[in-house]
Structure 1
């Protein structure tokens, strides 16, 4: 019997973020692995015209972009407790959009060896990499989790970017980042998600 949640991914992609989020939610889901040689196929472009993974289809509704998928899952499955009450979401929204905007852009530009000069820094949304990391460091030092005292979907999304940054050297290794990543990456749902994706990758 088909499940309400269908997850399109590749084990070596940002889909690992959504896999973690799905395991935190705890609902059953179907997984469709999209090999990279098929990612621009007509069948998959009908799901995500960008030709990127991941994508999620829930009861016929398609959601793309990791941040949007994580936020959506937290909202439609409130019993998982992965989003603060609406009146307490200031930090939650702040760091979701910070990670999806300034942080990801800064990391991408660094990877491409694009360094804005002083004049260009007025127009780019992140100023410069050092500014982004300093602000992010304050966020992970302020409370145990990005939205406060409780783990939430924003820790899955933004935390994954920190974890990958530390792993691949795109984020400066700072003790506060390492401590935060150790705190969230030890969660059972994260361990299970990694086990599933690692097995798919090796298989």
Structure 2
């Protein structure tokens, strides 16, 4: 069992093989334990590294570390939906390459300290602006993700969880794909072209939980 004191590092897929090799060199050849959601390396000196399987279980037919590296390096076709109240971005990636994408910004008023009827009118106006922003994001989902749905292996999400759920509400098949992908809603700044293009740095990174001896 992993000790209470842990930390998490995130490694680019291309660096994972070298990281595992150096980990073994420092701590001794690890015993490898495979579970549906992670591969755990337990070294002779007590160092432990639990490597998350972001893309699902390994085949289990060969060397688990080799299968792990092959899994994280595979160039998957992945949809991406980033939603915040004032901006959204939608894209289709193969590996880290953006094949198709759209992004837009929206005007949504900030909070107010006004009270009474003024506050209620303000809240209604802000709610209408937010609904319009989500509708525009949904239109880009319709244009970019829906035509690609049959070839998407995963759907990764970023931004605000409430906004993402609101936009996906009209797309049950994509919503199911996101649930099967089982990755978190990644924190991102207000989406723009550069934020969208850099999103693979987040969703492709391999999280590794290290114990206090690692």
Greater relative contact order, per chain length (Cα 8 Å cut-off, separation 6+):
2
Which of the pair has more CA radius of gyration? 2
Question: What TM-score, normalized to structure 1?
Answer: 0.30
Q: Which has a greater percent of strand?
A: 2
